[in-house]
Structure 1
Amino acid sequence: MCAITCALIVLVITGYILNSITKPKNFPPGPKWYPIFGCSALVQNMVRKHGSQWKGLSEIAKEYSTKVLGIKLGSEPIVVVFGENNVRRVFTEKEFEGRPDTFFIKLRCLGKRMGITFADGALWREHRQFTVKHLKNVGFGKTAMEAHIQNEMQKILNHISNQNNKPFNPKNMLAMSVINILWKFTAGEQIREERLNFLLDLLNARSKAFSMAGGWLNQWPWIRFLLPEISGYTLIKKMNQQISDIIEDSILNHKRKLTKGSDFIYSFLEEMKDRNDTFTEEQLKVICLDILIAGSQTTSNVLEFAILKVLREKNIQEKIYNEIVNILGDNMPSWADSNRLVYTMAFLSEIQRYFTIVPIAGPRRALEDVNMDGFLIPKDTTILISVGDVHFDRDIWQEPNKFMPERFIDETGRLKDIEHMYPFGIGRRRCPGDSLAKSFIFIVFVGIMQKYRIECSNGVLPSEDPIIGLISSARPFTAEFILRE
């Protein structure tokens, strides 16, 4: 009897090992899979060697001469797509609209796959539509939003003025302004500065600690019990608690009618009165979480890179300033001016190409078996989208490793080539906050350049080599903002 039991155990273990290393038929090419780990060790080595998950995966894809790379991280099969045709397919086709049902994603969403960023199916469709509609109803994406952006721009200029020409790092100043606008339309109020600073520090740490695929914590969720700090579990729990406190306080204020005006939370609570389905307070919390996380760093990081670049490139800075002064003078910038400030817009487009904020987008989940480039992507496979490679594709861009705003200006002096840019994605999962991001980046950057000359603070130019985690961010730097006469 004991021998039979041992034989069965050996068979089960052998079957598990064979199943874990056997790739599905016609699965996209990629490294060999090993039991338990898949090809995680190779991927991590490439990430360390090339400085980011994006560049590491890109090098592996080149090694296998494929634009559809098949890997396995832990027990999770993942396909990474490269090339503009494949990227556009995943962004736009319904078969790729799903989201993975993984531990890391549920942890990010306070325990359940809710909200709008990581939900899919009927829940996602209904609540994305509701969120976009009711944010617009309270002024998001309209004239009211531009007025708030201009107001935040004035606060930024006042903050710079208060530094009295002392060098400082603009990171948190910019991120706080974006969140102030988002939270104004979401919750009708601002988050206390000390609380917001602590939250931004946690978000910055999170961005550096995790890859888009979720890292160790997603591959082996049990690791949180053995290595809660190293795995990042403690960090995410701390961040979730801080954000939950902010959101719960705001919802309570709305229930007590302590918040003036109209906003998204009031709209959602009103809808809850007539519904007994997915419109729950838990769902409201996760949507608010989605809004805070999605908008907290991406937009401000673009601006930070823009400031860093004009700090490093004096000729570009003066060209931008001269265009602004010649066309706007001292008038306050508005989004309508983006059609007139062609070189400035070309510069900001090149910033978003050259410093791609989300070089690996996703993750998506295949809702059915899909063929791509002659390979089979099985249903429920996780898919990552290499946007960064499109932004540096030599078949699209001339000298892609060179920073050239002029590439976005045609012979007639008009903007061009933005159809090959994917800073906000495309398709039905396109970033719903793109109108805020575009307006904020343009208005705040023009407002700063209009008033200040940006100088190196210590005689040594800061590095422009980005830190690439979940998103790209500039390495910490300080700058002097000298008031122009």
Structure 2
Amino acid sequence: MCFRIASKLHVVISGHDAIRHALVTRADDFSSRKVPPTTAYIRGDGTSSKAAKGVLFAEYGPDWRQQRRFALKTLRDFGVGKRSLEGKIYEEAAALSQELVAKDGQPFNIKPLLQNSVSNIICSIVFGKRFEYGDPEFLRIITLLNNLVDSKPGRDILVNIHPVFRHIPFVSQEEKKLTKNTLEMQEFCSQQVQQHRETFDHNDIRDFIDAFLLEQRHAGGDQARNGFTDKQLQEVLLDLFLAGTETTSTAIGWALFDMLLYPDIQEKVHQEIDSVLGQAVPSYALRDKMPYTTATLAEVQRINTILPYSVPHATSTDTTLNGYSIPEDAIILVNLWSVHMDPQLFPEPDKFNPDRFLDQDGNFTKHPALISFSIGPRVCLGEQLARMELFVLFVSLMQRFTFQLPEGAPALSTPGKMTSLINMPQPYELCAVSRG
């Protein structure tokens, strides 16, 4: 279907076959992105044509390929997909567990602690260090991230229709908050870059920032043409934080939410973890020996699609899809929810059932229609990192705690709430009861 916001055409693609045809078979036509005018105004210099776009909002083409290739290589160099990163994830899991033990079984909202843990993993890769949970600077950054994610998209739409609407008082107030939060995040990233530049040693590349600075030196005076500018680094860092923190922490939040809803499934996960791991340190490599736990996480991602319509794409040329003509620069909304809730692909889609991801021998089996991280060239840059984080953090928590609803708490509300692009659980409290 299609609709217009003012003069801007938006096309919604639903169904697994149509989505795969557009994003994989016809990737060159459907893999671009457009920076929303509000974002361009805040993150750039007020004009969308000159705004730095990082990786997330970059147009499909050679510049984007270069930046994505560099980011993927650098993430791999610093442990993504390797056991070296698992140690950092487990370090965060241990710190998180200490916080939960201190709650002494009392009700609390776990969301801030999950954000701290996931954000710290990003920090270890990007900045080469983690922060203590009580660090005032770290808490400020988490608050800024929350404010950016919680921005009200309905009001942004007016400014995206025409910049003149930013002079309307209630729109102006919302945009001022968004601008303030973004500028403070940019300033934090700039400070980190400056600190790295002052201590840079090309023989000791410590993290993502150092790797980017090294690439800058290789470019010499041709940084702008090669895309390795300070502004580009700042925008990539913002992308990694925004995309990497909220989505993964939300996925873990949904996993614990579902364990509260289905204590029988939580018990099966506990039994498998006890039989395979005991008290040993969780390892991503052991997921094949823990098929029920792996299937449970797959079902969490299916039934609670984190990005129901992905990050919007755009057409890079006039094109067609299934007989329909779609013009260049149309905004493409990829309806991942329609795939994950399709009864032809997932019978009884409203039922939480990890068994749908197990074969007759009880082994985990991938389902080609589970596309939580999207598909095609724009598949999530941090997919491998997110999968490791989700598995190791979830298993670590389940190994040590039983999660229960507080006594007398109201029934959980299963429909999530949309905040910006993200489908989050309704706010809830839980009790983490130590198993040992």
- TM-score, normalised with respect to structure 1: 0.81
SS of residue in 2 equivalent to 1:254: helix
SS at match of 1:71: strand
Report if aligned partners of 2:319, 2:326 keep a CA contact under 8 Å in 1: yes
Identify if the C-alpha distance between structure 1 residues 471 and 230 changes in structure 2 by more than 3 Å, giving closer, same or farther: farther
Q: Tell me if 1:484 matches 2:435.
A: yes
> Would the aligned equivalents of 2:144 and 2:185 in 1 still touch at CA under 8 Å?
no
Aligned-pair distance for 1:106? 1.5
Give the distance between the partners of 1:347 and 1:330, measured in 2 at CA.
Answer: 21
Is the Cα–Cα contact under 8 Å of residues 109 and 430 in structure 2 kept in the other structure?
yes
User: Within 5 Å, which residues of 2 pair with 1:312-391?
Assistant: 312-391=261-340
Match of 1:44 in 2: none
- Unaligned ranges ≥5, structure 1: 1-68
User: 2:87 maps to which residue?
Assistant: 147
Q: Which residue of the partner structure matches residue 71 of structure 1?
A: 3
Partner of 1:128: 68
Amino acid of the structure 1 residue aligned with 2:8: E
- Post-superposition offset of 1:430: 1.1
Q: 1:217 aligns with which of 159, 173, 182?
A: 159
Instruction: Sort the Cα spacing of 1:417 and 1:264 in 2 relative to 1 into closer, same or farther, 3 A.
Output: closer
Counterpart selection for 2:207 from 263, 282, 285: 263
- Secondary structure of the 1:148 match is helix
Give the alignment's Cα RMSD to 1 decimal.
Answer: 2.1
Structure 1 CA distance for aligned equivalents of residues 285 and 156 of structure 2: 40
Partner residue of 1:50?
A: none
SS for the counterpart of 1:333 is coil
Alignment partners' CA distance in 1, 2:162 and 2:142? 27
Contact 2:282 2:396 survives alignment (8 Å): yes
Given the alignment of the two structures, is residue 232 of structure 1 paired with residue 183 of structure 2, yes or no?
no
Kindly tell me: are residues 430 and 283 of structure 1, through their superposed partners in 2, closer, same or farther at Cα, counting changes over 3 Å? same
Distance apart, 1:271 and its partner CA: 1.6
Following TM superposition, by how much is the alpha carbon of 1:76 offset from its aligned partner in structure 2, in angstroms? Answer: 0.8
Answer yes or no: is 1:296 the counterpart of 2:228: no
Runs of 5+ unmatched residues, structure 2: 46-50
Highest Rg: 1 or 2? 1
Is residue 99 from structure 1 mapped to residue 33 from structure 2 by the alignment? yes
Pair 1:185 & 2:135 matched = no
Partners of 1:245 and 1:304 in 2: CA distance: 29
SS in 2 for 1:168: coil
Instruction: Give a deviation string over 1:263-296, Cα, whole Å, max 9, x none.
Output: 1111111221232122110111001111111111
Q: Answer whether contact 2:312 2:333 (CA < 8 A) is retained.
A: yes
Q: Which amino acid counterpart does residue 465 of structure 1 have in structure 2?
A: P
CA distance in 2, matches of 1:396, 1:250: 46
Within-5 A mapping of 1:388-427: 388-427=337-376
> Matches of 2:388 and 2:180 in 1, distance apart?
32
Q: CA distance change for structure 1 residues 163 and 329 in 2, over 3 Å: closer, same or farther?
A: same
Report how many aligned residue pairs link the two structures: 417
SS at match of 1:182: helix
Which stretch has the larger CA shift, 148-157 or 121-130? 121-130
Alignment-mate amino acid for residue 187 of structure 1: F
| 1:258 Cα deviation from its structure 2 partner | 7.5
Q: Is the 8 A contact 1:115 1:290 kept in 2?
A: yes
8 Å CA contact 2:38–2:159 kept in 1: the answer is: yes
- Find the aligned partners of 2:75 and 2:205 in 1 and give their Cα distance: 13
Specify the alignment match of 1:471 in structure 2. 422
Instruction: State the identity as a percent.
Output: 29
